[in-house]
Amino acid sequence: MKSSNETFKTNHGIEIPCIGFGTWQTPEGPIAVDAVKYAIEVGYRHIDTADIYRNEESVGQGIAQSGIERSEVFVTTKLWNTKRGYEPTLKAFEESLRKLNLKYVDLYLIHWPANKAGWEQLNADTWRAFETLYRDGRVRSIGVSNFLTHHLESLLHTAEILPSVNQIEFHPGYMQAETLAFCRTHQIVVEAWSPLGSGCLLENPQLKEIAGRYGVSVAQVCIRWCLQNGTLPLPKSVTPQRILENADVFGFSLSEADMQAINSLPYMGGSGLHPDKIDF
């Protein structure tokens, strides 16, 4: 990728801008509004939020106040765990759409797979609602988040429409190779949440040494590394300088040797949130 104008193309034929602006932990109110407005001002065209982030209203306000045409910005939101199932999903989607003050969203994701007794049926029922929303034109594309290979395999037994995206934790020190390979086989775009390892990677000596040789920050190395691994990074920040820096990753390219060195890093920076073990 050589420009922020480049895109990932989904198996639904939808193009997604290659870097997303994440809003997890960005509080509802002026902070979120201003962060989204600034991100759009400096060139982001992909905004990611979720029901559980509790900032959909502010994200929607930031988009509206940016003055950008709705068709020019790619908006993602996600269904929360307590609202799974066919009818609850349809209701939850309408509430998210109301908060965002939009007529449609570009991508709707199941935030986490169900993992208790009956999880396979619950995921299938939820996905059926997603397919309804897609067929009705309420969403341009549908996908999942935090699904491991066995969750995807189960879903594909009943799905009539293939998920277009799987948004997973992905960063140096945590590559989820099996899930990544499965998604590539099925042409499912992998989006990388926490591409900086929740900030834990920024002081890593090896990454700092690599960044120094390119004259960039460790954050920029991590984001560029995601792109060169064929994943779509979703960095987040509310600091203007970092928002701008996180998108400035097209003036350099990591060498094959540096890519291999980063790929080989031991586990670090992980959130510890395993889809089969979460209890929320």
Three-class SS of residue 144? strand
Give yes or no: 134 in active site.
no
Three-class SS of residue 202? coil
Q: Please name the residue ranges forming H helices in the chain.
A: 30-41, 56-66, 86-100, 119-135, 149-158, 177-185, 205-214, 218-228, 240-247, 256-263
Evaluate whether 35 touches 68 at the Cβ level (below 8 Å).
no
Q: Which residue type does 260 have?
A: Q
Other Cβ atoms less than 10 A from the Cβ of 74: the count is 21
**Residue of 38, 53, 108, 134 with catalytic role:** 53
Does the CA dihedral 31-221-144-75 come out positive or negative? Answer: positive
Residue environment code for 157-180, b if the CB has 16+ CB neighbours within 10 A, otherwise e: eebeebbbbbbbbbbbbbbbeebb
Integer-rounded Cα Rg, in Å, for the chain is: 18
Tokens standing for residue 5: 């104008």
Residue 116 CB burial class (10 angstroms; 0-12, 13-18, ≥19)? exposed
> DSSP string of 55-113?
-HHHHHHHHHHHT--GGGSEEEEEE-GGG-SHHHHHHHHHHHHHHHT-S-BSEEEESS-
Distances (CA, A) of 150 to 120, 147, 279: 10, 8, 18
Catalytic residue annotation: 53
